Amino acid sequence: MAEKPTFYITTAISYPNGTPHIGHAYELIATDAIARFKRLDGYDVFFLTGTDEHGQKMLQTAQREGVPVRELADRNAGNFRAMGAALNASNDDFIRTTEERHYRTCAEIWTRMREAGDIYLASYAGWYSVRDEAYYAENETVLGPDGVRRGPTGTPVEWVEEESYFFRLSAYQDRLLALYESQPDFILPEERRNEIMSFVRSGLKDLSVSRTAFSWGIPVPGDPKHVMYVWVDALTNYVTATGYPDAAAPRARFWPADVHIIGKDIVRFHTVYWPAFLMSANWPLPKRVFGHGFLFNRGEKMSKSVGNVIDPFSLAQHYGVDQLRYFLLREVPFGQDGNYSHEAIVARINADLANDLGNLAQRSLSMIAKNLEGRVPSPGPLTPADEAMLAAADALPNKARAAMDDFALHTMLAELWRVVGDANRYFASEEPWVKRKSDPERFGTVLYVTAEVLRAVGILAQPVIPQAAGKLLDLLGTSPNARDLAHVGQGRRIAAGSVLPAPSPIFPRYVEAEQDAASA
Ligand code: ME8
């Protein structure tokens, strides 16, 4: 059999200077859904996430808390790992930038950039935001009435003056612009690409890439009083995890990455600095960078009724993991900013999951259990309504592929739930409960078609709601090795005569607890 094509996908690596928040959870869930989708579609997937542990921000937080920085990193890296488990993330590796493997790759990329003539020693004098771990030009900063100077993102900046190595970023302006022109989907979505192109067109200055004021970082090869600027170190994690350029490393074949999924605040680092470093090192560039939007919590009521719901652990526990995953990916068009509120989550859970999908499964499977001894019926002659319903289910893989090619997770879910809606209307208008006695053949056909549509929906829903979709497929008797996209469609239908397990609900309704209702 031909080898599967590879697909390498990453999240950003998070600063473990605190516990994970809902923005981290959102990025991980979205990336996980894409990774799972690609696996279902026959790809050999490598999905990476991890923590970005060096730099001044980590150091300052540790000093403020009075703990050694390594202890802070260890503790919170553990929390990020635990979040992955709590959200049912299927990452294949979790990288920490303090690992030995990463020091080696960083030394290698640095040496290659130096050998290319792109690194030189000079001194830096300018503004630095520790919170953003970013250098800002004087004209990007503003002195506020409170006497605090702030960068373009609103974070305070401090004056830095020290010996520093520089990367010749200015030499890459034309090559970067040529990259964006020749690969229009290198930066997604479109509006981020426009922002970056005008930034690069306005001219690039050489970038300070080492620090001497502290030592919490990766030493510069040959000059260990310098540590690498944390973004050189951080971006390189994506290569480290593959083992590239060591061709013998089992995952070296995954480099270059197919896509980095990151937030909109760090697109510049990933689409200007990162490709320039890689061009200098003469290593292949990632194929695409997708900058998703930010998630905000505007609904005050949510925290009143549920407690500390911004914490992804309590959100997942309170609403359910699949419920949270579905809500975030369905509600917010991927790429745009979004909001979450208690009401919006509950509305999605009860309408889309408990009602539309859960009830249809429960009603149809119970009819099979009660009236047909749990055996999938054989279909009689198909009416145009049956054919249309089956055709809608058969079309799902291609529709989903088209949406997922653009990382349009929300569109994929909308297509899927359109079919769920159609199936509910089909079921209601066919009235199988009436035909059970009057027309047993029609009764069997409608239940067969409904079960087959549910099977397709179950397969396609796995990337977003892995547990519930898995349970639905169990209830439909779908074997674990027949749950990929290739098993949807003509010639792959559910087997008539097969005996199904006793049905049980896949999604409970969300019911407000008394005190929630009282405080609402
Ligand atoms: O930026 N909504 O780490 P980080 C959605 N270490 N996404 C959000 C968000 C929000 N409210 N807040 C943050 C870093 N994010 C660097 C990355 S990569 C080589 C180094 C996203 O912990 C943010 O955009 O501040 C980023 O993609 C990720 O969470 C980690 O943010």
pLDDT in tens, 420-478: 999 999 999 999 999 999 999 999 999 999 999 999 999 999 999 999 999 999 999 99
Which tokens go with 262? 């990151």
User: Residue 200 in contact with residue 272, Cβ under 8 Å?
Assistant: yes
262 lines ligand 1 (CB under 6 A): yes
Average pLDDT, the chain: 95
In this prediction, residue 306 carries a pLDDT of 43
Q: Quick check: CB of 232 below 6 Å from ligand 1?
A: no
Rg (C-alpha) for the chain, rounded Å, is 26
- CB atoms < 10 A from the CB of 19, how many? 15
Q: Looking at residue 170, what is its pLDDT?
A: 98
What is the atom index within ligand 1 of the atom nearest the CA of 234?
19
| Contact by Cβ (8 Å): 409, 331 | no
Query: Which atom of ligand 1 sits closest to the CA of residue 14?
Result: 22
Does any ligand 1 atom lie closer than 6 A to the CB of residue 294? yes
pLDDT tens-digit readout, 242-271? 999 999 999 999 999 999 999 999 999 999
Shortest-distance atom of ligand 1 to CA 263:
24
Residue 515: the pLDDT is: 53
DSSP letter at 483? Answer: -
Write the residue with the smallest CA distance to atom 18 of ligand 1. Answer: 12
Query: What's residue 516's pLDDT?
Result: 52
Distance (angstroms) between ligand 1 centre and the Cα of 418 equals 32
Q: How far apart are CA 321 and CA 89, in angstroms?
A: 10
Residues with Cβ within 8 Å of residue 85, at least 6 apart in sequence = none
- Of all protein residues, the one whose alpha carbon is nearest to atom 16 of ligand 1 is 14
Q: Which residue has the tokens 């909109």?
A: 264
Positions in the chain whose pLDDT score sits under 70:
1, 298-309, 514-520
Tell me which residue has its CA closest to atom 4 in ligand 1: 14
Nearest atom of ligand 1 to the alpha carbon of 293: 5
Beta carbon of 334 within 6 Å of any ligand 1 atom = no
**Which residue has the CA at smallest separation from atom 12 of ligand 1?**
23
Residue nearest to atom 23 of ligand 1 (CA): 263
Residue type, 423: A
Predicted pLDDT at 108: 98
353 Cα: distance to centroid of ligand 1 (angstroms): 29
Tell me, yes or no, if the pTM score tops 0.90. Answer: yes
Which residue lies with its CA nearest to atom 3 of ligand 1? Answer: 14
Please say whether the dihedral angle defined by the alpha carbons of residues 353, 473, 405 and 8, taken in this order, is positive or negative: positive
What does the pLDDT read at residue 129?
97
Instruction: Confirm if 256 and 9 have CB atoms less than 8 A apart.
Output: no
Question: What are residue 442's phi and psi, to 5 degrees?
Answer: -65, -40
Q: How far is Cα of residue 335 from the mean position of the Cα atoms in its chain?
A: 11
| Whole-angstrom distance, CA of residue 74 vs CA of residue 245 | 28
CA distance 245 to 228: 20
CA 189 to centroid of ligand 1, rounded, Å: 17
| Ligand 1 touching residue 28 (CB < 6 A) | no
In which order are the strands placed within the sheet that holds 210-211? Answer: 210-211, 223-228, 219-220
* Residue 13 near ligand 1, beta carbon < 6 Å: yes
Cβ neighbours of 128 (radius 10 Å): 19
Whole-number Cα distances in Å, 198 to 188, 193, 272, 390: 15, 9, 12, 48
What is the pLDDT, as a whole number, of residue 384? Answer: 98
Q: How far apart are CA 198 and CA 177, in angstroms?
A: 10
The backbone torsions φ and ψ at residue 9, rounded to the nearest 5 degrees and listed phi first, read: -130, 140
CA dihedral (417, 419, 425, 426) in degrees, to 10, reads -150
CA distance linking residue 142 with residue 36, whole number of Å: 44
Spacing, Cα 311 to ligand 1 middle (Å): 15
